Amino acid sequence: MTRMQPPVKELLPRLTPILKNRHEKVQEACIDLVGRIADRGASFVSPREWMRICFELLELLKAHRKGIRRAAVNTFGYIAKAIGPQDVLATLLNNLRVQERQMRVCTTVAIAIVAESCSPFTVLPALLCEYKVPEVNVQNGVLKALSFLFEYCGELGRDYCYAVVTLLEDALSDRDQVHRQTACVVVKHIAQGVYGLSCEDAVLHLLNFVWPNIFETSPHVINAVM
């Protein structure tokens, strides 16, 4: 990295316009390169420049090509690891307010990857706080992010499952079907991750809230419950 010509701090600003290139394979390769730089040479670039890249990457979460979205989401993880999760997380949580569903889903995956890269305790407090916002899209986004977070963390979820019990109680008894459906998926990932790790009391308590949803008529909710 130290011998690169041009130097990394000059190369990165030149890559930013290429992120807007209309050719999808060029975009994907460029995002991968930015991710590699964030992974291996983040110290050569200022945090302000990395935040500028983050705002550019947000636009790419609505790309049609799945590879572009995946590369952008992974790059968020590398940048968060490089400059700390707080600023990156604030940007992503703001993005949960957009109307476009695909963009919100990609944002929740990015939040979970930030949690995986920087440990869940850096992300969970902000997610729990964000759930208080009385907006359906934001609350659904938080639940979706928790679902991916516990899926990616696996056994690490043992240390954090008790922290989200009250939030999941609220979601599982909410009037909104999508809230209950997503909360059921979160409980599933928690149960799979903490199996055999002495967290049965929390899981059993949550299952008592999951069980009444078996009488729901929506096939999506029934599928999540089963």
pLDDT tens readout for residues 125-174: 888 888 888 888 888 888 988 888 888 887 877 887 888 888 888 888 88
Q: What is the pLDDT of residue 53?
A: 82
Decide if 172 contacts 210 (C-beta within 8 A).
yes
Whole-number pLDDT of residue 223? 66
pTM of the model: 0.80
Residue type present at position 189: H
Rounded distance, CA 107 to CA 96, Å? 7
Half-sphere exposure of 111 (CA within 13 A, CB side): 32
Specify the pLDDT at position 10: 76
**For the chain, what is the mean pLDDT?**
81
Scored b (16 or more CB within 10 A) or e, 24-55 reads eeebbbbbbbbbebbbebbebbeeeebeebbe
Write 47-54 long-range contacts (CB < 8 A, 24+).
Answer: 47/83, 47/87, 49/9, 49/12, 49/13, 50/79, 50/82, 50/83, 51/83, 51/87, 51/88, 51/91, 52/16, 53/12, 53/16, 53/79, 54/79, 54/87, 54/88, 54/91
- What are the phi and psi torsion angles at 131 (to 5°)? -65, -20
- pLDDT tens for each residue of 42-87: 777 788 888 888 888 878 877 888 888 888 888 888 888 888 888 8
The answer to whether 224 and 184 have CB atoms below 8 angstroms apart is yes
Using alpha carbons, select from 143, 129, 141, 59 the residue that is nearest to residue 101: 141
Q: Among 18-27, 179-188, 207-216, which is the least confidently predicted range?
A: 207-216
- Between CA 144 and CA 201 the distance in angstroms is 23
Nearest Cα neighbor of 169 from 206, 200, 139 is 206
Backbone phi, psi, residue 14, to 5°? -75, -25
